[in-house]
Amino acid sequence: MIRNSTPWPLILAAAFPIAAAAQDYEVTLVRAGVVASGVSDAGVVVGRDPVLLRPYAFVDGQRVPLLDTDGIGQASFVGGIQGDVAVGSCFTGGVAVACFWHGSRTATAMALPAGYVAAGASAIADDGHVGGWAFATPVSRSSPAVWTNGVPSVLPMPQGALQGAVRGVSRLGQAVGFVVELDVAAGHAALWSGQTYQRLPGDDAFGSSSYAVSVNASGTIAGVSYDALHETPTAVMWTNSGRVDLPELAPGSSETAGINDAGDIVGSSGGHAVLWHGGAVFDLNAWLPAKLKDAGWILASSNAISNTGVIAAVGVTADGSPATFRLTPR
């Protein structure tokens, strides 16, 4: 495996654009009490209130509730956003379905795969390709699913797999996520190219697990790997050469959350929001204004990055109260 044979700086130098320092950022507090899940190229942030379980979009400083297809009830989940289209999960006729919001706070339901009774969407590519999951029965486990031009299809899993889901998609028709296999009852990072399934390498030790969260237009994949005790997450990426462990702020705990087409990856390391860029890891708290630091805020995780480099991050105070922040390149 790459991680055992090649030093990470050499691999990252080939995988990332080389730069002396990370981009300078303007940090904006978007909304307290909301956890971000996506951000568009124009800086529109989507996220969810973790207490009320209500999703929102934040457009030009305004909070926009994201509603079910009836325009009354609150939708249950919002995942990613591309342009002015956000995707997630909502209810129509009492059934949970994958849905999207486009120019309206009222959701439009997406078709269920044939023979399936419920679904949800987690990611959208810039060509409208959507990824998520579907359920064959109300009590079954999820199957990975994609929607291409609005047409749903369930993706294959290995024989005997227990469940799976898509976490990220690209305009090249690739989807990434995870599959839980029966033999080890652990999740493994997965790549689908069309209807072809591939288990991503690097978690071969018994009991270890991994999942992929995002894929860009070059086919570079960001994800997370866990040790056999499922206690220590490690931020990783996969290129055509294999798996690479990403550098950390401090040893012991790091995760990725997204990757853009420039190859920049966001996530968390050591309890801080980070950006992996140019072969190095950057603590995004370096750009947090002094007045926010003095108020007790820490950027704990960066949850999404757009192709224009806008980052949606989650900050916390000493009591653990969350808020969504936007970091815009200057």
- Sign of the CA dihedral with 162 first, then 150, 82, and 49 last: negative
Pull the structure tokens for residue 92.
């129509």
Q: Is residue 64 part of a domain?
A: no
Q: So what's the pLDDT on residue 12?
A: 37
Which strands sit side by side in the sheet containing 186-193, from one edge to the other? 163-169, 174-181, 186-193, 196-199
Q: Are 82 and 305 in contact (CB under 8 A)?
A: no
Query: Residue 1 has what pLDDT?
Result: 25
Classify 202 as helix, strand or coil: coil
Is residue 22 predicted with pLDDT exceeding 90?
no
d(CA 90, CA 77): 7
Q: Is residue 149 assigned to a domain?
A: yes
pLDDT at 8: 33
The whole-number pLDDT of residue 93 equals 84
What pLDDT shows up at residue 70? Answer: 86
Q: Which of the pair, 61 or 12, is modelled with greater confidence?
A: 61
pLDDT band at 32 (very low <50, low <70, confident <90, very high): very high
pLDDT value at position 81?
96
Cα–Cα nearest to 144, from 121, 170, 115: 121
pLDDT band of 38, cuts 50, 70, 90 = very high
Q: What is the pLDDT of residues 269-289, one digit of tens each?
A: 999 999 999 889 999 999 999
Within its chain, how far is the Cα of 278 from the centroid? Answer: 21
In this predicted model, what pLDDT tens digit does every residue of 132-189 receive, in sequence order? 999 999 878 999 999 999 999 999 999 889 999 999 999 999 999 999 987 555 789 9
Q: What pLDDT shows up at residue 44?
A: 97
In a domain, 221, yes or no: yes
Instruction: Note the pLDDT of residue 20.
Output: 40
The total number of residues written for the chain in this structure: 330
Share the mean pLDDT of the chain.
89
Lowest mean pLDDT among 64-68, 186-190, 203-207, 217-221: 203-207
- Name every residue whose Cβ is closer than 8 Å to that of residue 113 and which is 6 or more positions away in sequence: 119, 134, 145, 152, 153, 154
In a domain, 117, yes or no: yes
Q: Which of 100-104, 200-204, 250-254 has the lowest mean pLDDT?
A: 200-204
Q: Is the pTM of this model over 0.75?
A: yes
Q: With bands split at pLDDT 50, 70 and 90, how would you rate the model's confidence at 314? A: very high
At residue 250, the pLDDT reads 83
Q: Degrees (nearest 5) of the Cα angle 291, 292, 296?
A: 115
Is there a domain that residue 183 lies in?
A: yes
Select the more confidently predicted residue: 5 or 57: 57
- Whether 67 is covered by a domain: the verdict is no
Question: Is it the case that residue 199 has pLDDT exceeding 90?
Answer: yes
Grade residue 205 by pLDDT with cuts at 50, 70 and 90: low
Number of domains in the chain: 1
Residue among 213, 225, 256, 262 at smallest CA distance from 15:
262
Residue 9 binned pLDDT confidence (cut-offs 50, 70, 90): very low
The boundaries of the domain holding residue 199 are: 110-245
DSSP-based helix, strand, coil % in the chain, nearest 5: 5, 50, 40
pLDDT band at 16 (very low <50, low <70, confident <90, very high): very low
Q: In this predicted model, which residue has the larger pLDDT, 1 or 172?
A: 172
- Phi first, then psi: give them for residue 215, nearest 5 degrees: -140, 140
pLDDT of 318 > 60? The answer is: yes
Q: Per the domain annotation, does 124 fall within a domain? A: yes
Q: Is residue 8 part of a domain?
A: no
Stretch 232-236: mean pLDDT, rounded?
Answer: 92
pLDDT of residue 10 exceeding 60, the answer is no
- Residue 18: pLDDT above 90? no
pLDDT of residue 184: 58
Residues of the chain with pLDDT > 90, as a percent, come to 72
Q: Answer with the residue of higher pLDDT: 229 or 220.
A: 220
